[in-house]
């Protein structure tokens, strides 16, 4: 496939006089993981929500290369199509797994829901897919019928990932995927994500304030500050040879135990 | 069949004419969009919510002086609620009432479809407590409306999936969710799933009224009604090993009645009219 | 004869914004060609910018001036200013780098650390692990350590894992930063053997060798970095 998977053009969003995103443009290519880093208030989360169809920007276009229908402007898709896209081709991993899971239904149902939503009607096969995915995200398959409330935070996050990936999406958006988790749990989760991204050839946009997460997961970085992209480039280059004053500040502020 | 004179203190069938028109408009819309829940301005009725106000309002809007009304509650004509609703219409509309399914033009029901097959020209009015089949999953009305609009029904199968994973089979035995006219998922009302096949491609008109929730929906005659299921767990109706202890029927929905403290039980037809009809026919035959 | 790696008038300086915008010039006018099968040593005293040259070649540092051309898929590609995905592709298949220190990802076992570059070019996991194992064995990393993360290894062991990882995929261009530092005599010989074998296969190598004997043993050319040291 030629051409970028996602072409974001001039996306702007303001909340009153506060500019969250000031005309941001970038492209994402198949198999690429883009990290968006910045501190609170940088606009990175707003940008993520705008390009993933969850928030309507004030201006700009988000052009997505579909599997069979050429490119579409996501922001101008009908709601039914947008929902379909978000349920099949895309995934969204929330920082708080409770926002991305149905807490009142079993782990297996959580994973199988996307399949059922697009017409899967064979219980046995749906259950097998769920078992397969629980295994891939290192959740004990014996817990397939348990409710997510009985899972630890790390397990809930892994369940959320499985729920998103079961439909074989091409593009996954991750909002601080390791935020709020214990360090050892974070390490395990990042490993899992790295492996899945590589094995499944996923493209992803990861928003994080943690540079270590960015270094581990992202191929390229965009550094945001006050709604603007101040630096962009290869991850190791941006972190090892930062050019912009703000990037240099960020990098030098990281604590090394 | 019994006839009474109408109490002149009330407008015909209790509701004022404007209200009846409003309800009829809702009914027309419902019939035009099978399975779609139409909001309506449910009125204060002389019985509390939960006692059939929706069904009563639908019946009140469509009933005319020449109609014959049958009212059943869990299949029986002689339970308190069935009796009281029947008396209500006898008094406010002066219509003829009956316990005989074939004689009725309108049948109002709670929790059963009559065993005697209904025909073209008859209307079945269901009393519905919760019209929204997605409510168990999604408490927000705005969201469920959106889900219906976008045919976003994956979650309905999630419920059935959960049943199978917990009980080994689909455990829903009443108010079974159905897909109407290949478009809307609908709550069939708390009728046992045994009755669901009767809804499919039926020759009679089916109207559903939910008074507290203020919704009316409908299935016009000859409409496809399919019960949601899985390919490897297809929809099945209930079966009994026993026959009705009174009339010997093996094809009707049976109620289990505990007869003593020693665990004795017997099974009888839930549909009293059907049961007594079979007994009468039997007696006629043996007399002949 | 094609140059596999070419520097053309490359200049590099650092601007330390955290220190009031102090400018630290490092390199100026760096021009050289690394030919196929050639092993070139970067020479010069410590601090002249030898590691910087390697990092520029790898795309890890950004140059302020000039071009850095790598022969990739038969065409010369300028790493300076190339799109990140192009640089990553070049690193995947053409350009290998053995840094001075192994960057450890906590949970990945040593065998997989070494096998990864092979898997990245499409080698099936079993075969990749087998070839990784062969290299680890040559570098005297015992099998009992292969399932562990290199996190707890000694400096020398970590460096040998790093070297194995750099050589395993057989990249046509290799950048080596002090590959024999912190190694005992036996392991140093192994590494020199690996370099010789790679050069014999046509691999172009650009390396920094603190140890003069090692440098003389394998290198066929030198480039004096102090000569292109930028004026302060």
Q: Does B47 touch chain A (CB under 8 A)?
A: no
Touching C: which chains, 3+ CB pairs < 8 A?
A
User: What pLDDT does A192 receive?
Assistant: 85
Across the interface, whether the CB atoms of A32 and C106 are under 8 A apart is answered no
| Alpha-carbon distance A243 to nearest alpha carbon in chain C (angstroms) | 7
| Alpha-carbon distance B196 to nearest alpha carbon in chain A (angstroms) | 20
Q: A–B: how many Cβ contacts below 8 A?
A: 56
| Contacts with A80 from chain B: Cβ below 8 Å | 150-151
Find which of C13, C17, C80, C120 to mutate to test the A interface (most A CBs within 10 Å of its CB).
C17
Nearest by Cα to A227 from A246, A251, A211, A206: A246
Q: What is the mean pLDDT of chain C?
A: 92
- Provide the ipTM: 0.91
Q: Which residues of A115-126 are buried (b: 16+ CB within 10 A; e: fewer)?
A: bbbeebbebeeb
Torsions phi, psi for C159 (to 5 deg): -65, -40
The catalytic residue among B52, B75, B209, B244 is B244
pLDDT tens digits along A217-237: 999 999 999 999 999 999 999
Nearest by Cα to B167 from A123, C87, A215: A123
Q: Does A198 touch chain B (CB under 8 A)?
A: no
pLDDT tens digits along B245-260: 999 999 999 999 999 9
> What is the distance, to the nearest Å, from the Cα of residue C78 to the centroid of all Cα atoms in its chain?
18
In the predicted model, is pLDDT for residue C162 greater than 90?
yes
- Which of residues C37 and B222 earns the better pLDDT score? B222
User: What pLDDT does B2 receive?
Assistant: 64
Of C62, C84, C85, the CB nearest to A243: C62
B and C interact (at least 3 Cβ pairs within 8 A): no
Instruction: Report B:122-141 residues touching A (Cβ under 8 A).
Output: 137
The catalytic residue among B55, B209, B227, B247 is B247
**Residue A143: closest CA among chain B residues belongs to which residue?**
B165
Let me know if B244 is a catalytic residue.
yes
Please report the sign of the dihedral spanned by the C-alpha atoms of residue C137, residue C138, residue C140, residue C141.
negative
The H-or-E segment that residue C195 falls in is helix C185-200
| Contacts with C85 from chain A: Cβ below 8 Å | 29, 32, 219-220
User: What pLDDT does B74 receive?
Assistant: 92
Nearest by Cα to B241 from B273, B277, B265: B265
pLDDT tens digits along B23-50: 999 999 999 999 999 999 999 999 999 9
Across the interface, whether the CB atoms of A121 and B158 are under 8 A apart is answered no
User: Which of left, alpha, beta for A136 (phi over 0: left; psi -120 to 50: alpha)?
Assistant: alpha
Residue C25 in contact with residue C232, Cβ under 8 Å? yes
pTM: 0.85
Spatial separation of the C-alpha atoms in residues B214 and B41, rounded to whole Å: 6
| Alpha-carbon distance A226 to nearest alpha carbon in chain B (angstroms) | 34
> Looking at the DSSP assignment, which residues form a beta bridge with residue B2?
B97
| Contacts with C108 from chain A: Cβ below 8 Å | 191
Let me know if B269 is a catalytic residue.
yes
Spatial separation of the C-alpha atoms in residues C221 and A238, rounded to whole Å: 32
Across the interface, whether the CB atoms of A248 and C16 are under 8 A apart is answered yes
Confidence of residue C232 (pLDDT cuts 50, 70, 90): low
User: What pLDDT does C107 receive?
Assistant: 80
Q: Which residues contact B248 (CB under 8 A, 6 or more apart)?
A: B278, B282
Q: In a structure prediction context, what are the per-residue pLDDT tens digits for chain A, which is 257 residues long?
A: 578 999 999 999 999 989 999 999 999 999 899 999 998 889 999 999 999 988 999 999 999 999 888 899 999 888 888 888 988 899 999 999 999 999 989 999 999 999 998 889 999 999 999 999 999 999 999 999 999 999 999 999 999 999 999 999 999 999 999 887 888 788 888 888 888 888 888 899 999 999 989 998 999 999 999 999 999 999 999 999 999 999 999 999 887 66
Confidence of residue B136 (pLDDT cuts 50, 70, 90): confident
Lowest mean pLDDT segment, chosen from A125-129, C80-84, C227-231: C227-231
Q: How far is CA A234 from CA A220, A228, A231, B181, C105, in A?
A: 4, 18, 10, 55, 19
Across the interface, whether the CB atoms of A102 and B165 are under 8 A apart is answered no
In the predicted model, is pLDDT for residue B276 greater than 60?
yes
Residue B233, classed as helix, strand or coil, is strand
Spatial separation of the C-alpha atoms in residues A242 and A249, rounded to whole Å: 9
User: What pLDDT does A257 receive?
Assistant: 63
| Alpha-carbon distance B233 to nearest alpha carbon in chain A (angstroms) | 7
In the predicted model, is pLDDT for residue C151 greater than 80?
yes
pLDDT tens digits along B144-192: 999 999 888 888 899 889 999 999 988 888 889 999 999 999 999 999 9
| Contacts with A245 from chain C: Cβ below 8 Å | 17-18
| Contacts with B165 from chain A: Cβ below 8 Å | 106, 108-109, 127, 144-145
In the predicted model, is pLDDT for residue B213 greater than 90?
yes
Of C14, C18, C84, the CB nearest to A234: C84
User: What pLDDT does A253 receive?
Assistant: 87
Copy the structure tokens of residue C216: 């003389």
Residue A37 in contact with residue A221, Cβ under 8 Å? yes
User: Which of left, alpha, beta for A3 (phi over 0: left; psi -120 to 50: alpha)?
Assistant: left
Q: What is the mean pLDDT of chain B?
A: 93
Across the interface, whether the CB atoms of C59 and A245 are under 8 A apart is answered no
pLDDT tens digits along C171-213: 999 999 999 988 899 999 999 999 999 999 999 999 999 888 9
User: DSSP character for C230?
Assistant: P
């Amino acid at each position: 496939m030629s051409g970028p998977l996602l072409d974001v053009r001039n996306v702007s969003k303001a909340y009153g006089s506060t500019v969250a995103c000031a005309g941001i443009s970038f492209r994402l290519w198949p198999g690429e993981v883009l990290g968006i880093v910045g501190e609170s208030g940088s606009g990175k989360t707003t940008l993520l929500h705008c390009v993933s169809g969850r928030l309507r920007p004030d201006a700009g276009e988000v052009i997505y290369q579909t599997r069979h229908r050429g490119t579409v402007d996501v922001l101008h898709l009908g709601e039914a199509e947008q929902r379909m896209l978000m349920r099949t081709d895309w995934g969204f991993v929330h920082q708080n797994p409770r926002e991305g899971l149905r807490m009142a239904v079993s782990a297996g149902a959580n994973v199988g829901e996307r399949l059922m939503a697009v017409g899967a009607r064979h219980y046995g096969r749906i259950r097998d897919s769920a078992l397969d995915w629980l295994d891939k995200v290192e959740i004990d398959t014996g817990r397939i019928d348990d409710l997510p409330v009985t899972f630890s935070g790390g397990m809930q996050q892994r369940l959320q990932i499985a729920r998103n990936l079961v439909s074989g999406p091409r593009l996954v958006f991750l909002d601080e995927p390791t935020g709020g988790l214990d360090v050892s749990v974070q390490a395990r989760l990042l490993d899992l994500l790295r492996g899945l991204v590589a094995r499944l050839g996923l493209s992803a946009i990861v928003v994080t304030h943690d540079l270590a997460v960015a270094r581990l997961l992202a191929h390229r970085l965009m550094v945001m500050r006050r709604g603007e992209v101040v630096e962009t480039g290869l991850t190791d280059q941006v972190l090892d040879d930062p050019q912009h004053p703000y990037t240099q500040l960020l990098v030098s502020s990281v604590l090394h135990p | 069949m019994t006839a009474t004179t109408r109490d002149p203190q009330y407008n015909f069938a209790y509701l004022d004419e404007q209200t009846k028109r409003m309800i009829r408009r809702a009914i027309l819309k419902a019939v035009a969009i099978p399975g779609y829940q139409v909001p309506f301005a449910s009125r204060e009725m002389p019985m509390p919510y939960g006692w059939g106000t929706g069904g009563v309002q639908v019946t009140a809007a469509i009933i005319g002086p020449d109609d014959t009304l049958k009212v059943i509650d869990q299949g029986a004509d002689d339970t308190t609620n069935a009796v009281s609703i029947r008396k209500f219409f006898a008094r406010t509309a002066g219509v003829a009432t009956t316990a005989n399914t074939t004689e009725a033009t309108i049948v109002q029901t709670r929790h059963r479809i009559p065993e005697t097959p209904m025909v073209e020209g008859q209307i079945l009015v269901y009393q519905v407590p919760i019209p929204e089949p997605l409510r168990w999953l999604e408490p927000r009305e705005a969201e469920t409306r959106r889900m219906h609009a976008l045919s976003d029904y994956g979650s309905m199968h999630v419920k059935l999936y959960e049943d199978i994973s917990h009980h080994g089979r689909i455990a829903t035995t009443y108010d079974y969710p159905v897909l109407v006219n290949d478009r809307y998922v609908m709550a069939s009302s708390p009728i046992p799933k045994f009755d669901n096949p009767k809804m499919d491609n039926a020759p009679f008109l089916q109207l559903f009224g939910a008074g507290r929730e203020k919704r009316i929906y409908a299935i016009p005659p000859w409409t496809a009604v399919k019960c949601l299921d899985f390919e490897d767990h297809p929809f099945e109706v209930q079966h009994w090993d026993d026959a009705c202890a009174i009339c010997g029927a093996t094809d009707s929905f049976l109620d289990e009645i505990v007869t003593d403290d020693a665990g004795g039980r017997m099974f009888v037809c839930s549909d009293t009219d059907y049961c007594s009809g079979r007994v009468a026919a039997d007696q006629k035959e043996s007399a002949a | 004869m094609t140059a596999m790696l070419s520097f053309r008038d490359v200049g590099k300086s650092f601007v330390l914004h955290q220190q009031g915008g102090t400018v630290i010039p490092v390199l100026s006018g760096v021009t050289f060609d690394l030919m196929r099968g050639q092993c070139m040593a970067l020479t010069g005293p410590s601090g002249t910018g030898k590691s910087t040259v390697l990092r520029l070649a790898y795309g890890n540092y950004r140059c302020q001036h000039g071009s850095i051309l790598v022969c990739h898929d038969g065409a010369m590609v300028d790493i300076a200013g190339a799109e990140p995905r192009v640089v990553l592709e070049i690193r995947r298949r053409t350009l290998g780098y053995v840094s001075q220190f192994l960057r450890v990802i906590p949970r990945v076992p040593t065998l997989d650390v070494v096998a990864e570059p092979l898997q990245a070019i499409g080698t099936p996991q079993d075969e990749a692990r087998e070839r990784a194992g062969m290299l680890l064995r040559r570098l005297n990393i015992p099998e009992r350590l292969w399932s562990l993360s290199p996190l707890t290894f000694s400096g020398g062991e970590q460096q040998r894992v790093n070297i194995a990882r750099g050589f395993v995929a057989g990249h046509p261009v290799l950048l080596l930063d002090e590959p024999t530092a912190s190694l005992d005599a036996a392991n140093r010989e192994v590494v020199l053997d690996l370099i010789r074998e790679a050069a014999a296969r046509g691999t172009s190598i650009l390396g920094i060798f603190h140890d003069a004997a090692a440098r003389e043993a394998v290198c066929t050319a030198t480039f004096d970095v102090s000569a292109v040291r930028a004026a302060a």
